[in-house]
């Protein structure tokens, strides 16, 4: 048996519970729905699941506004349902990661309800409170990622509170030792219950600048946002003071010390800072986070040069840490719409899966990627995401990537027996699991074949990476582990191309069995079909 930690090179399948499977007919997915489909997930060949928040919440931000860290919202089920889910997943060989949203709570959390009452109660300093300026305006110029001022007036205290996200998501004051202790105690509750890992939402937002200094303005040409609308005023500032503070490093070490008391658990941090790659390297060095991921491959830029430069940049900075890559998640437009230019073919879907799963690091795969789902067009009257409603029509929010999983060609795509919380697009219904299971050339069948094959290639899972300097649209690199070298070449374009391999690359021996469209080699000239992939062992 391998002595490597499960997470190192592992593939983590993200489940958005609202949209996975509804078992009680209320139109919203639930924990029993996840239990019902765990056999399907295990058969994909992934190593773990990450479940988006299912805790008690008023659902202003669909669970990322937590009112009770230690209980399941009745919308999703019960703690007993979660225990059953955990047991079944472990029985199938799947690890279970859960979201932990530590930087902020809901306004309905008992801590905030107490804190907002006065300036001298036991929780008075548990949140970020500040006096108004002399003219009554907010204490500084910080902005909310969801648009507008990051400060909300509270008349009961006669002060403003900080919210980096929605006004209903007040930020906790991590400078307060009791807050840090309470956060770690909430994490311990789930570790004691048996979870295998944590996905830490917005983990670089835990601390703020004590002096509340203004963020400096950002020049127009640098206002390129990752994970948020390009016309959002949030992009108008350098966010030097409202997040990614140096005090956070000591807290991460406290968190790691807690995790190290448990066997084979892992923490994955979501990082969005002014230099996310540098922050990933810093947050995963030493005894801090096990893994970090950012929005660098969740952008619109789909080119060999961009992918190569991004990974190289991180590799140059991340000496002892471990990256995690994602090309889709619940916050951004689905990858086949962002990178496909109208092409939603199984060939492209399988190429993208193989590409991200061949990079050095672990991988997060979002539900529906295996089906080659594209972004759904959700009409304005059906929108639920407050972010999309606020920025319509220039930015339509996150509902388009959150529509329900299509399981069958029956009513509501087999997701629910009643109207689902978001509509299921008709084009998704034609890509249902049932239909793709019956098609040997489907994206689902290709995804599954590749994932199982990847497990047989240690160099792809855990090896070092060295890129070859190839022209567009070719992405090529070598993965090496214990002297075993695997050459990987991708044609990111639709058209067939010929690739000249460098003479010093070695003697390649083609590797079969991955189920992808393969190229042909003759005298170091590789003939690669559109969206073709080539794996070879090097002597």
Q: How confident is the model at residue 481 (pLDDT cuts 50, 70, 90)?
A: very high
Which one from 201, 296, 315, 369 is the annotated catalytic residue?
201
At residue 227, the pLDDT reads: 54
- Residue 267, helix vs strand vs coil: strand
Strands (E) in 451-511, as ranges, are: 464-467, 474-481, 484-491, 497-500, 508-510
| Antiparallel, parallel or unpaired: β 197-200 and 68-72 | unpaired
Angle, to 10 degrees, between the axis of helix 177-193 and the axis of helix 247-259?
30
Residue 491 tokens, joined = 């044609």
Distance between CA 376 and CA 215 in Å, rounded? 36
Share of the chain above pLDDT 70, in %: 99
Contacts of 160 (CB under 8 A, 6+ apart): 129, 130, 131, 132, 138, 139, 151, 152, 153, 154
C-alpha distances out from residue 172 to 123, 169, 177, 330, Å? 11, 9, 11, 24
Q: How confident is the model at residue 221 (pLDDT cuts 50, 70, 90)?
A: confident
At residue 231, the pLDDT reads: 77
Residue 426 has pLDDT above 80, yes or no: yes
- Find, among 489, 488, 492, 487, the residue nearest to 472 by Cα: 492
- Of the two residues 136 and 395, the one the predictor is more confident about is 136
At residue 462, the pLDDT reads: 97
- Of the two residues 507 and 15, the one the predictor is more confident about is 15
> Are the CB atoms for 311 and 349 separated by under 8 Å?
no
Distance between CA 170 and CA 306 in Å, rounded? 36
Distance between CA 261 and CA 348 in Å, rounded? 43
pLDDT, mean of residues 340-357: 94
Specify the range with the lowest mean pLDDT, choosing from 57-61, 63-67, 205-209, 506-510. 506-510
Contacts of 283 (CB under 8 A, 6+ apart): 203, 204, 249, 252, 269, 271, 289, 292, 321
At residue 214, the pLDDT reads: 98
Q: What is the residue extent of each domain of the chain? A: 11-106+176-454, 464-538
pLDDT, mean of residues 202-220: 97
pLDDT, mean of residues 477-500: 96
Residue 447 has pLDDT above 70, yes or no: yes
At residue 162, the pLDDT reads: 99
pLDDT digit string, tens, across residues 136-162: 999 999 999 999 999 999 999 999 999
Q: How confident is the model at residue 506 (pLDDT cuts 50, 70, 90)?
A: confident
pLDDT digit string, tens, across residues 380-392: 999 999 999 999 9
At residue 517, the pLDDT reads: 86
> Are the CB atoms for 70 and 54 separated by under 8 Å?
no
Distance between CA 305 and CA 468 in Å, rounded? 11
- Of the two residues 315 and 502, the one the predictor is more confident about is 315
Q: Which residues of 139-173 are buried (b: 16+ CB within 10 A; e: fewer)?
A: bbbbbbbbbebbbbebeebebbbbbbbbbbbbbbb
Q: How confident is the model at residue 446 (pLDDT cuts 50, 70, 90)?
A: very high
Distance between CA 229 and CA 539 in Å, rounded? 48
Residue 1 has pLDDT above 60, yes or no: no
Is 270 catalytic? The answer is yes
Residue 291 has pLDDT above 70, yes or no: yes
Distance between CA 488 and CA 467 in Å, rounded? 9
Helices (H), 97-161: 110-115
Distance between CA 296 and CA 306 in Å, rounded? 9
- Find, among 64, 178, 88, the residue nearest to 127 by Cα: 178
The CATH number for 11-106+176-454, chosen from 3.40.50.740, 3.30.420.590, 3.60.150.10, 3.20.20.80, is 3.20.20.80
Distance between CA 293 and CA 200 in Å, rounded? 10
Q: Is the pTM above the cut of 0.85?
A: yes
pLDDT digit string, tens, across residues 245-257: 999 999 999 999 9
Residue 113 has pLDDT above 70, yes or no: yes
Distance between CA 17 and CA 20 in Å, rounded? 5
Distance between CA 8 and CA 324 in Å, rounded? 9
Cα separation of the two ends of the chain:
26
Residue 70 has pLDDT above 90, yes or no: yes
Chain Cα centroid distance, residue 325: 8
Which one from 196, 270, 331, 399 is the annotated catalytic residue?
270
Distance between CA 168 and CA 161 in Å, rounded? 10
At residue 503, the pLDDT reads: 81
- Sign of the torsion formed by the C-alpha atoms of 300, 304, 306 and 310: positive
Contacts of 520 (CB under 8 A, 6+ apart): 526, 527
At residue 229, the pLDDT reads: 63
Contacts of 410 (CB under 8 A, 6+ apart): none
pLDDT, mean of residues 500-505: 85
Is 201 catalytic? The answer is yes
Specify the range with the lowest mean pLDDT, choosing from 174-183, 322-331, 514-523. 514-523
Distance between CA 427 and CA 39 in Å, rounded? 25
Upstream peptide bond of 180 is cis (omega within 30 degrees of 0): no
pLDDT digit string, tens, across residues 7-52: 999 999 999 999 999 999 999 999 999 999 999 999 999 999 999 9
Distance between CA 453 and CA 530 in Å, rounded? 22
Superfamily, domain 464-538: Golgi alpha-mannosidase II (2.60.40.1180)
């Amino acid at each position: 048996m391998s002595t490597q930690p499960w997470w190192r090179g592992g593939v983590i399948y993200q489940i958005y519970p609202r949209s996975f499977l509804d078992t009680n007919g209320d139109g919203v997915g639930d924990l029993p729905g996840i239990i019902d489909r765990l056999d399907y997930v295990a058969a994909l060949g992934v190593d773990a699941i990450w479940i988006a928040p299912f805790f008690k919440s008023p659902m202003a931000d669909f669970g990322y506004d937590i009112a009770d860290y230690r209980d399941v919202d009745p919308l999703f089920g019960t703690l007993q349902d979660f225990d059953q889910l955990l047991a079944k997943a472990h029985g199938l060989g799947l690890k279970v990661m859960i979201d932990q949203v530590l930087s902020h709570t809901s306004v309905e959390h008992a801590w905030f309800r107490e804190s907002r009452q006065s300036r001298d109660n036991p929780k008075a300093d548990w949140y970020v409170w500040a006096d108004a300026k002399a003219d009554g305006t907010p204490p500084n110029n910080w902005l909310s990622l969801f648009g507008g001022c990051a400060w909300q007036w509270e008349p009961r205290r006669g002060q403003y509170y900080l919210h980096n996200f929605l006004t209903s998501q007040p930020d906790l004051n991590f400078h307060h030792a009791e807050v840090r202790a309470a956060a770690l105690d909430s994490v311990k509750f789930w570790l004691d219950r048996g979870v295998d890992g944590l996905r830490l939402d917005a983990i670089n937002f835990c601390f703020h600048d004590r002096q509340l200094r203004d963020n400096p303005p950002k020049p127009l040409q640098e206002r390129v946002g990752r994970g948020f609308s390009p016309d959002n005023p949030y992009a108008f500032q350098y966010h030097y003071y409202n997040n990614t503070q140096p005090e956070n490093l000591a807290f991460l070490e406290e968190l790691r010390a807690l995790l190290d008391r448990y066997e084979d658990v892992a923490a994955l941090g979501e990082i969005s800072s002014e230099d996310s790659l540098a922050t990933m390297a810093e947050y995963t060095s030493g005894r801090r986070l096990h893994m970090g991921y950012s929005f660098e491959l969740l952008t619109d830029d789909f080119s060999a040069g961009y992918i190569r430069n991004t990974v190289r940049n991180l590799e140059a900075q991340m000496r002892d840490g471990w990256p995690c890559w994602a090309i889709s998640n619940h916050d951004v437009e689905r990858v086949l719409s962002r990178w496909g230019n109208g092409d939603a073919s199984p060939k492209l879907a399988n190429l993208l899966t193989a590409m991200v799963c061949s990079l050095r690091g672990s991988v997060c795969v979002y539900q529906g990627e295996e089906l080659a789902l594209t972004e759904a067009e959700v009409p304005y009257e059906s929108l639920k995401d407050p972010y999309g409603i606020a920025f319509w029509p220039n930015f339509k929010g996150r509902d388009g990537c959150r529509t329900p999983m299509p399981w069958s060609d029956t009513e509501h795509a087999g997701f629910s027996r009643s109207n689902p919380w978001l509509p299921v697009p008709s084009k998704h219904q034609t890509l249902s699991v049932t239909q793709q299971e019956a098609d040997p050339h489907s994206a689902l069948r290709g995804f599954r074949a590749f994932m199982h094959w990847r497990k047989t290639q240690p160099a792809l899972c855990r090896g070092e990476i060295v890129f070859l300097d190839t022209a567009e649209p070719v992405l090529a690199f070598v993965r090496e582990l214990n002297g075993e070298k695997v050459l990987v070449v991708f044609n990111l374009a639709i058209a067939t191309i010929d690739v000249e391999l460098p003479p010093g690359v070695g003697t390649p021996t083609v590797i079969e069995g991955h189920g992808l469209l393969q190229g042909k080699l003759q005298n170091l000239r590789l003939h690669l079909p559109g969206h073709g992939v080539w794996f070879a062992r090097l002597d």
